[in-house]
A and B are shown apart, each in its own frame.
Chain A
Amino acid sequence: MASVQLKQVTKIYDGKVTAIRNADLMIEDREFVVLVGPSGCGKSTLLRMIAGLEEISSGEILIDSKKVNTLPPKDRDIAMVFQNYALYPHMTVFDNMAFGLKLRKFPKNEIRTRVTEAARILDIEQYLDRKPKALSGGQRQRVALGRAIVRKPKVFLFDEPLSNLDAKLRVQMRIEINKLHHKLQTTMIYVTHDQIEAMTMGDKIVILKDGVIQQVDSPLNLYNEPINLFVAGFIGSPAMNFFLGRVEQNGELNFHSKLFNLNLPESLGQKLKDFRDKEVIMGVRPEHIHDISLSSGKSISKPQKIKVDVVEPIGNEIFVYFSDPENNYCLRMAPDILHQAGENIDVAVDLNRVYFFDPRTDKRLA
């Protein structure tokens, strides 16, 4: 068990490509931290630097307050689960799991006890004599987890461990890894590009884009209080809708876009005062645009007309897509009414749940 701290960590490949820029991050002992971001954002590079598989160009990485910049992976007391499992194909499951312990010269009895215990936790006891090729994808991933567990490392690293599994198995393994975290009470750092995994697993989520950490926070805080356009658009599925428009004040504070004309509450006036008569981006999550016939409330806007493009009934909810000439938008509604494509409907926006962003800096204004 240990904390992991990154201080101004930078990774530059071949003196040209910057993969990670000035990353500062504090991961507390026993925390489950998820690094998430789109492909090529540097999340795996960051994890591999913590593992010691990539050199650091500048900055410091501390594990348990000890600088590990030049320490080889084996001396960092960490274990890693790889995306493609990376099991040794010529060894049995038992030998795969025991490999690290044998190298560390553990006594035979201890090795057997630890491997059996890990196999019991992961429910793979009956496969200990098999070779990896005789296992299914999910079982192989369990073996990879087992190989990490037996070492009882200070920190677990996971590099997109579930992305090769099918959807159902992924959900199952997600829950298992969560349970494992509660059971082992060890610091875990988990890389994924799947924001659902990030939201459901992490105590804390680190959002990366182009090698720069955008925001570090709890899942719900990220969802409710994104600090910029990228985070707002990345977290949440379907993604937040963004409407480009202008803020105007003629007695009342108004927002005008191609589709919506909204009368904003006065409370937003102060925050948007520098943006009067200027372009802003308004963000609204799909669940905060309501079918007027189904909702009521003080804070909802006046009815706005939209034309339905596509309707996606999911079962427990319905996604309704609409558009203006430039963009597509989505609203999420209860499955009480099934609208038809081409239908005109009245919707209202929950004015307490709108976000405003500066289109030049992408920073959140209100």
Chain B
Amino acid sequence: MSRNPRSLSAKGKVAAHIILMIFTLFAIYPVLQVFSISLRPGDRLLSKSLAIIPEGANLQSYYQLFYEEPFLRWMFNSIVISFFVTIFGVALAATAGYAFSRYRFRGRSASLLGIITTQMFPVTMLLLPLFIMLIKIGLYDSYIGLIVAYSATALPFTIWQMKGYYDTIPYSLEEAAMMDGASPLYTFYRIILPLALPALAITALFSFMAAWSEYLVAAVLIQDRNLFTLPLGLKLFQSNMEVAWGLYSAGAVVVSIPVVLLFIFLSRWLISGLTLGSVKG
């Protein structure tokens, strides 16, 4: 039931735009609100004014964030951890998903089911065993420990997602490459991976986000303040007595920038129909 938007009448177009504008407002209002709070002098959370740039707006919170708090340290930690989680996530999901999609081996169905079953358990349930395990293998309170934990929690979803995408790529492409003389590895690298870019982009984004904005696992597995990630750091602004809302909001605004940049960077691959033209049509 898809209608070509160009076929809408003038009235329809106006209505569509109004609806879209309302939803856009819904989407950007919280962001603007946070941005606005970060510019307010003092730690005022609530305000009667609707102005985005509040009265007496200044960049004090941002100054404090970068010069008085170890914000850059947290950011560095988060970037390192998210980067490696993304790399591992993409590399492992891309290869595991391919194996599940293309090869028939003993235990394939059971493994696929097993992988998705792990998603049934909430992270809180896994926290304690994860904590004990990481202590035993000496990875508690370390980059590697957190990277392993995040990769492990993100992988089930991304493996399934990659497998699902590979399933849509016709197998005859690989057979054609085989006839052309390509090895399985070369075929995977030169034919399949380039076609799976949209799925890889999603996998990368998902893996990055799983690490970038995660709080609970990090709170349990990291004690050393030097290893704090951004969510842990931001939480420090909330003490027992009061919350440094200005700092908190400034941090939130800065934290969201890399995600937005990554999204913009990956969006060029987030287009469907990359395989169009390979087969009949």
Contacts and interface: CB of A to CB of B under 8 A. Distances in A.
A255 interface: no
B257 interface: no
B179 A73 contact: yes
Given A84-B170, A86-B170, A73 B277 contact: no
Given A86-B172, A88-B191, A89-B195, A100 B278 contact: no
A4 to B, nearest CB: 15
A151 B182 CA distance: 14
Interface stretch (A129-137, A239-247, A315-323): A129-137
B275 interface: yes
B195 A85 contact: no
Interface of A: 51, 53, 72-74, 78-80, 82-90, 99-100, 103-104, 131-135, 137, 140, 147, 151, 164
B177 A99 contact: yes
B176 A82 contact: yes
B242 interface: no
A89 B177 CA distance: 12
A104 B280 contact: no
A74 B277 contact: no
Contact of A133 (B179, B181, B194, B276): B276
Nearest to A148: B179
Contacts of A151: 180
B194 A90 contact: yes
Contacts of B120: none
A104 B183 CA distance: 12
Contact of A79 (B170, B179, B279, B280): B179
A90 B170 CA distance: 14
| Most interface-central of A78, A133, A134 (chain B CB within 10 A) | A133
Given A132-B278, A134-B277, A137-B280, A88 B179 contact: no
A99 B170 contact: no
A82 B181 contact: no
A88 B180 CA distance: 12
| Most interface-central of B172, B179, B194, B279 (chain A CB within 10 A) | B179
Nearest to A99: B180
B274 interface: yes
Interface string B247-281: 00000000000000000000000000011111111
Nearest to A85: B279
Contacts of B186: 103
Contacts of A147: 176, 180
